[in-house]
Chains A and B, each alone.
Chain A
Amino acid sequence: MIHSIFIINRSGGLIYHKNYSSKIAQLSSNEALTLAGTFHGIHVLASRISPATRGGDTVKDSGIQTIDTKNFRIHCYQTPTGIKFIAATDLLETKLTDILAKVYVLYSDYALKNP
């Protein structure tokens, strides 16, 4: 059960957000922008302070993938170009990577090619 979706570009600016259920708090657009910026910041922090790097330094850590709280979970999928797809869902969804990857395909098809 997905509650909302955010798409953040590589400099941390929010490019899209949408609520899909009425249970979640409705964010004003200002709050959504702040949330996106904050998330971008902690995502970068997480990948920089990662203690584990795979046998060499050419592969960086992937950054935040999920954040758990008592009532819901935030999933994040980062593309190699720096775009982050974030979904807030309830606790029943454990791994949204495939779905977010599909969103990436659709995004590149429709959003980027639209003149």
Chain B
Amino acid sequence: MAMAKQLKATGEEAWKNNVEKVNAELFIFTYGSLVVQLVKDFEDYSAVNKQLDKMGYNIGVRLIDDILARTGIEKCGDFHTTAEVISKVGFRVFLNIAPSVSGWSADSKEFSLILDDNPLNDFCELPPKAVQDGLWYSNVLCGVIRGALEMMQMQTEVWFVKDVLRGDDVSEIRVKLVRVLDEEVPVGDE
């Protein structure tokens, strides 16, 4: 657990010193209006979910370089370390929250991130139709995690399991490692 403490310290130090901060409310409201616009454009909540995930993916592939540059973290030895880094450093640096890692599967290929309070959800209420049709409001976070891990040679599936806006008590994101990529040239990059 010394490593976890060290990661936590890295995350907090990076948050304090190395990161430019924006007003939280501005950020939250901007995200909210983004989701509203997507809902208006697509009118189908599962399409909105996919679009949020895609946007998150594009953000994730760039975000990973940002966080590696700032914190100087080395490549993780195993998936447990990866989970710790995501929760203690990644979320801390970018959203200043500390989700907890739990729900490890037997083969250590899946885990859950439990977010007690998701800042994106502040000031937000979902209309009943959105809840019914399965809108995951913070789905962009799933895309970010997926994009970032793919740049670290891990192909993953990331999805929301529980969301406070849908009436659950905490938000839960499930991350599953599909396979470890082996130095492949990224598709569409030639």
Contact = CB atoms under 8 A, between A and B. Distances in A.
**B contact residues, range:** 20 to 34
A79 B68 contact: yes
Interface in A63-111: 79-83, 101, 104-105, 107-109
A107 B70 CA distance: 11
Given A10-B186, A112-B62, A104 B78 contact: no
Interface string A2-33: 00000001110100000000000000000000
Given A79-B65, A107-B65, A112-B66, A58 B78 contact: yes
Given A11-B185, A11-B186, A11-B190, A58 B66 contact: no
B69 interface: yes
A49 interface: no
B127 interface: no
A44 B185 CA distance: 13
Contacts of A113: 62, 66
A1 interface: no
B72 interface: yes
A52 interface: no
B72 A101 contact: yes
B69 A101 contact: yes
Interface string B118-158: 00000000000000000000000000000000011000000
Interface in B5-32: none
B189 A112 contact: no
Contact of A108 (B66, B74, B189): B66
B65 A112 contact: yes
Interface in B151-172: 151-152
Interface of B: 62, 64-66, 68-70, 72-75, 77-78, 151-152, 183, 185-186, 189-190
The 3 closest A-B pairs by CB, nearest first: A112-B62, A108-B66, A105-B69
Interface of A: 9-11, 13, 44, 58-59, 79-83, 101, 104-105, 107-109, 112-113
